[in-house]
Amino acid sequence: MERNSGERSPSAHLSTPKALSTQSWLWHRPGSPSHPLAVGTFAVLIAVLLAGVLTFFLALSGTAGNWDAVWRYREVFFKGWLLTIVLSATSLVLSLIIAALIVALRRAPLVPARAAGSLVVEVIRGSPFLVLILILFYVVAPGIGITDRLLVGLVALSLFSGAYLAEMLRAGIESVAASQLDSARAIGLTPSQTYRFLIIPQALKQTLPPLAGQFASLIKDSSLLSVIGLSEFTHAAQQINSATYSTIEVFLPLAVGYLILTLPISFLARYLEERFRYDY
């Protein structure tokens, strides 16, 4: 019996997914999830290409040739890099605590408490981080008898990041529909139970991707603590540059060191964004 010409053979049906999977390496519909392997492969290829272009221009300029002098200070680099990790991780924990306190103030029934929370957020977010560091180190810290640069740096970084995290958490909490809150009250949930079982799980799902992105920004913001002489990664690079006069050879490893810390967090933020975007 002859097959109707309008019917497709089984082999044609079987070949369709292969064609689609091949096309998905080069093309994704806007708004659809990305193919992780395809994105990672092309990211590596582009990174290698950019590294080759940079190497070519460095060879042409002849400005990067004093790598031996920089290598002698590798321990200074490594200690500064480790201090940056410790600073960033500790500040992340402290900034989450500060953000939770600010959110509690901004959602408090007492109007002065709401005003205080809003004022803290707007002042910190509206001021350059460098100004906040200098005010805390040269004005506030001497006034209360604190001379520890590390402590001042931790407080400054935590306050600055906490103000931004507070807005993210507040937005996540307020994204919960009012109808869900009404339902929680209707079934007899207390305010603490409503936050525990209803608001906090949904708010975390909404805010995890931007929180991960803020952590990457926190790591980069820690470089400004070098202005108060804190021996973190950037300050170590500045010291080595002063000793060797090898600017390019010093600041290229500095950039690589920060990328090693921030790129995995950026990839995590993107994964969380796509993961929770399609969870509904």
CATH of the domain at 165: 1.10.3720.10
Residue 50 lies in a domain: no
Q: Give the range with max mean pLDDT: 28-42, 173-187, 247-261.
A: 247-261
Q: Would you say residue 279 has pLDDT above 50?
A: no
In angstroms, the CA 61 to CA 65 distance is 10
Q: Assess whether pLDDT exceeds 90 at residue 248.
A: no
Note whether residue 16 is domain-resident. no
| 25 is a domain residue | no
| Average pLDDT of the chain, as a whole number | 81
17 assigned to some structural domain: no
In a domain, 27, yes or no: no
Instruction: Check whether 277 has a pLDDT greater than 50.
Output: yes
Nearest CA among 210, 241, 256 for reference residue 69:
241
Chain segment 203-235, per-residue pLDDT in tens:
777 787 788 888 888 999 999 999 998 889 999
Sign of the dihedral through C-alpha 106, 132, 128, 225? negative
The position carrying tokens 């500064």 is: 80
Residue 40 pLDDT greater than 60, yes or no: yes
Query: Would 26 be classed as within a structural domain?
Result: no
7 assigned to some structural domain: no
d(CA 161, CA 145): 24
52 lies in some domain: no
Number of domains in the chain: 1
- Contact criterion met (CB below 8 Å) for 202 and 191: no
Q: Mean pLDDT over residues 127-133, rounded?
A: 93
Give residue 246's domain range.
Answer: 80-277
- What's the rounded mean pLDDT across residues 101-107? 90
Burial 107-132, CB ≥16 within 10 A → b, else e: eeeeeeeeeebeebbeebeeeebeeb
Q: What percent of the chain has pLDDT over 90?
A: 32
Q: Residue 122 above 80 pLDDT?
A: yes
- Residue 230 CB partners (closer than 8 Å, separation 6+): 83, 87, 149, 150, 153
d(CA 15, CA 20): 9
On the CB side of 197, how many CA atoms lie within 13 Å of its CA? 13
Cα distance between residue 218 and residue 89, in whole Å: 9
Q: How distant, in Å, are the alpha carbons of 24, 28, 194, 238, 262 from that of 279?
A: 22, 19, 22, 46, 26
pLDDT in the model for residue 276: 65
Name which of 18-32, 89-103, 154-168, 250-264 the model is least confident about: 18-32
